[in-house]
């Protein structure tokens, strides 16, 4: 344990910052809701996964052995988050449109998601379970829920009985603050469509598949597929146990997804799942929630290449990651071109200062006021991260340290005013923060992580250009080539494909 400050985490379930005490000393079980792999991941999704990457990294830095489970949703998530079997499965719909097997759709977008996560230098989770790989576990959970009296069958579909659950357990709505009367009036309009349900707040845990539905499995009730909320209950329980430490996701999942997850866990095994719920806030684009449906969106690739009306130029993955670190995970973050330009400057300054710092040496240093200040800043940086992962505040302290580092270099401050031990501590903490905790890479250094991130981006851009060329979209193909040239990267088309060099 490098930091001796106790870790405090805001628990959405209690609405309070709590001292974190893992169930098993020294070990943490963390489950984060992963993407629904029916289209390209958007930057908002990336923000949530980068936020939890920093949480994962900091827990490890603090000395915990972490089992991080992040699922892949490849079945059951219906259009409009509905749960009537009239709504189409997001993946099945994409398979129909693209004339692919649903598994082909899932593989294509899972691969794309992994590529983007690698480019953002997000660590892979310890386990990445797929919903379609856990159908027996989900069927078993439905059986338990029925046996405990919280599920009922209607035409081969099984619904979770919310009023009964409230009557017996009295805890539905604790996470989201919703009350059933509210739910009832909210969903009254849909009642006609949902007449299989006894109550509008009930939700499907197993759905009978319509004849044209592509994804279907045998169950005791019908040939069908599991409800979306069920997979996370079944998979977190399988890999982390009936009670585990942390469950995370974007705050748009609080209701109904997470609320229903808790109800399912309690309904099946009388166990609540996670002790602590963490919710990351939304990424906005020019002040509005980033979402694909109203066109207010920018993809990671568009941001890297600058091929979007929302930006004046391309920004590198590490600049974007740095930009994300500048907001607390529980605050919204508004992506604007101006803010990205500022982040680019900040990122470069941080990397430059670290290079300077690592080359500093001293002879006969002593403990002075400056030495105390530096040590206090280092302590505060660790305290900030232990205070509900306050990355922006920790980052601000690093910038205060950058000012001192640059003053040592420029001679405005005498390096011998700090001790050898303090300089060593400063070097290692700075390095640890930038690379291990914040997960940044130095893009100016060839051969280090920076180069591999650039290689990843280049592969992505080259693939996009090849796609444009294959569909004779010469305008896009030329735009990519010219844009890269302006950024000092030359493309060369050859027999073996396209290669690139830096000017
Ligand atoms: P989905 O693929 O829609 O299931 O979402 C994957 C993850 O991204 C979930 O944790 C969502 O809460 C999160 N998410 C979706 N939109 C945004 C956004 N605009 N900003 C931040 N996170 C988001
Ligand atoms: Zn989930």
Which of 285, 177, 155 is CA-nearest to residue 222? 155
User: What separation in Å is there between the alpha carbon of 290 and the centre of ligand 1?
Assistant: 9
User: How crowded is residue 414: how many other Cβ atoms within 10 Å of its Cβ?
Assistant: 13
Ligand nearest to the CA of 227: 2
Q: Which pLDDT value is given to residue 80?
A: 66
Span 340-357, pLDDT tens digits: 999 999 999 999 999 999
Which of 1, 31, 28, 12 is CA-nearest to residue 128? 31
Instruction: Please give the C-alpha separations between residue 277 and each of 70, 205, 424, in angstroms, as whole numbers.
Output: 15, 22, 37
Residue minimizing CA distance to atom 12 of ligand 1 = 250
CA 34 to ligand 1: nearest atom: 6
User: How crowded is residue 353: how many other Cβ atoms within 10 Å of its Cβ?
Assistant: 21
Which of 33, 266, 31, 274 is CA-nearest to residue 160? 266
CA 35 to ligand 1: nearest atom: 2
Can you tell me whether residue 152 is helix, strand or coil? strand
Residue minimizing CA distance to atom 19 of ligand 1 = 44
Residue minimizing CA distance to atom 9 of ligand 1 = 250
Ligand nearest to the CA of 264: 2
CA 281 to ligand 1: nearest atom: 21
Which stretches of the chain drop beneath a pLDDT of 70?
A: 1-4, 76, 79-87, 180-194, 292-293, 446-453, 495-496
Residue minimizing CA distance to atom 2 of ligand 1 = 35
Q: Which pLDDT value is given to residue 122?
A: 98
- CA dist., res. 61 & res. 56, Å (int): 9
User: What separation in Å is there between the alpha carbon of 443 and the centre of ligand 1?
Assistant: 27
- CA dist., res. 89 & res. 132, Å (int): 13
User: What separation in Å is there between the alpha carbon of 36 and the centre of ligand 1?
Assistant: 9
Inter-residue contact 270 to 283 (CB < 8 Å)? no
Residue minimizing CA distance to atom 15 of ligand 1 = 45
Q: Which pLDDT value is given to residue 192?
A: 44
Burial profile 283-307: b = 16 or more Cβ within 10 angstroms, e = fewer: bbbeeeebbeeeebbbbbbbbbbbb
Neighbours of ion ligand 2 (CB under 5 A): 33, 232
Q: Which pLDDT value is given to residue 475?
A: 84
Instruction: Please give the C-alpha separations between residue 189 and each of 157, 193, 194, 365, in angstroms, as whole numbers.
Output: 21, 9, 10, 74
Q: Which pLDDT value is given to residue 39?
A: 85
- CA dist., res. 267 & res. 157, Å (int): 17
The 3-class secondary structure across 169-180, one letter per residue, is HCCCCCCCCCCH
Residue with tokens 């109800």: 263
Q: Which pLDDT value is given to residue 188?
A: 45
User: What separation in Å is there between the alpha carbon of 135 and the centre of ligand 2?
Assistant: 15
Ligand nearest to the CA of 71: 2
Task: Name the pTM for this structure.
Answer: 0.88
Task: Give me the residues paired with residue 290 across strands.
Answer: none
Inter-residue contact 259 to 172 (CB < 8 Å)? yes
User: What separation in Å is there between the alpha carbon of 34 and the centre of ligand 1?
Assistant: 8
- CA dist., res. 319 & res. 484, Å (int): 17
Ligand nearest to the CA of 254: 1
Which secondary structure element, helix H or strand E, spans residue 494, and what is its range? Answer: strand 489-494
User: What separation in Å is there between the alpha carbon of 15 and the centre of ligand 1?
Assistant: 21
Q: Which pLDDT value is given to residue 183?
A: 63
- CA dist., res. 442 & res. 454, Å (int): 10
Sheet holding 333-335, edge to edge: 288-289, 283-285, 333-335
User: How crowded is residue 470: how many other Cβ atoms within 10 Å of its Cβ?
Assistant: 9
Polymer length in residues for the chain: 503
User: What separation in Å is there between the alpha carbon of 376 and the centre of ligand 1?
Assistant: 37
User: Sign of the C-alpha dihedral, residues 364, 367, 371, 375?
Assistant: positive
- CA dist., res. 251 & res. 272, Å (int): 19
DSSP state letter for 436: I
Span 7-36, pLDDT tens digits: 999 999 999 999 999 999 999 999 999 999
User: What separation in Å is there between the alpha carbon of 33 and the centre of ligand 1?
Assistant: 9
Can you tell me whether residue 452 is helix, strand or coil? helix
Inter-residue contact 137 to 238 (CB < 8 Å)? yes
Residues lining ligand 1, Cβ inside 6 A: 33, 35-36, 44-45, 47-48, 73, 249-250, 252-253, 282-283, 289-290
Inter-residue contact 166 to 180 (CB < 8 Å)? yes
The 3-class secondary structure across 241-307, one letter per residue, is CCEEEEEEEEHHHHHHHHHHHHHHHHHHHCCCEEEEEEEECCEEECCEECECCCCECCCHHHHHHCC
- CA dist., res. 151 & res. 268, Å (int): 10
């Amino acid at each position: 344990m490098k930091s001796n400050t106790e870790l405090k985490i805001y628990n959405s379930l209690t609405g309070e910052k709590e001292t974190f005490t893992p169930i098993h000393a020294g070990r943490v079980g963390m489950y984060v809701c992963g993407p629904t792999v029916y289209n390209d991941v958007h930057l908002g999704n990336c923000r949530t996964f980068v936020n939890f990457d920093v949480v994962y990294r900091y827990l490890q830095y603090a000395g915990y052995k972490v089992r991080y489970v992040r699922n892949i949703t490849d079945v059951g998530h219906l259009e409009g988050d509905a749960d009537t079997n009239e709504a189409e499965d997001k993946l099945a719909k994409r398979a129909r449109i693209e004339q692919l097997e649903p598994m082909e759709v899932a593989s294509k977008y899972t691969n794309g998601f992994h590529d983007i996560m690698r480019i953002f230098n997000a660590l892979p989770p310890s386990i990445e379970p797929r919903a379609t790989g856990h159908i027996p576990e989900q069927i078993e959970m439905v059986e338990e829920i029925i046996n405990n009296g919280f599920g009922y069958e209607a035409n081969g579909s099984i619904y979770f009985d919310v009023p009964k659950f409230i009557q017996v357990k009295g805890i539905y709505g604790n996470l989201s603050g919703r009350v059933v009367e509210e739910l009832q009036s909210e969903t009254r309009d849909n009642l006609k469509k949902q007449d299989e349900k006894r109550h509008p707040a009930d939700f499907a845990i197993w759905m009978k598949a319509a004849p044209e539905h592509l994804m279907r499995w045998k169950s005791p009730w019908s040939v069908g597929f599991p409800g979306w909320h069920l997979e996370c209950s079944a998979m977190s329980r399988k890999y982390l146990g009936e009670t585990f430490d942390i469950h995370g996701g974007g705050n748009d999942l609080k209701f109904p997804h997470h609320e229903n997850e808790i109800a399912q866990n309690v309904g099946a095994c009388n166990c609540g799942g996670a002790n602590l719920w963490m919710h990351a806030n939304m990424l906005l684009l020019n002040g509005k929630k980033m979402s694909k449906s109203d066109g207010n969106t920018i993809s990671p690739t568009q941001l890297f290449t600058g091929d979007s009306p929302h930006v004046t130029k391309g920004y590198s993955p590490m600049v974007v990651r740095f930009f994300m670190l500048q907001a607390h995970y529980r605050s919204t973050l508004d992506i604007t071109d101006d803010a990205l330009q500022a982040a680019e400057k900040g990122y470069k300054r941080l990397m430059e200062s670290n290079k300077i710092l690592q080359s500093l040496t001293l002879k006969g240093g002593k403990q002075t006021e400056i030495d105390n200040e530096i040590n206090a800043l280092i302590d505060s940086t660790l305290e900030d991260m232990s205070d509900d992962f306050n990355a922006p505040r920790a980052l601000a302290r690093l910038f205060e340290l950058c000012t001192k580092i640059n003053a040592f270099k420029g001679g405005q401050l005498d390096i011998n005013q700090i001790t050898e031990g303090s300089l060593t501590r400063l070097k290692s903490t700075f390095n640890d923060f930038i690379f291990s905790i914040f997960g940044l890479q130095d893009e100016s250094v060839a051969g280090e992580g920076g180069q591999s991130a650039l290689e990843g981006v280049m592969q992505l851009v080259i693939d996009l250009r090849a796609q444009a060329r294959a569909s004779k979209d010469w305008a896009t193909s030329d735009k990519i080539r010219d844009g890269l040239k302006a950024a000092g990267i030359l493309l060369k088309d050859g027999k073996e494909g396209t290669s690139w060099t830096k000017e």
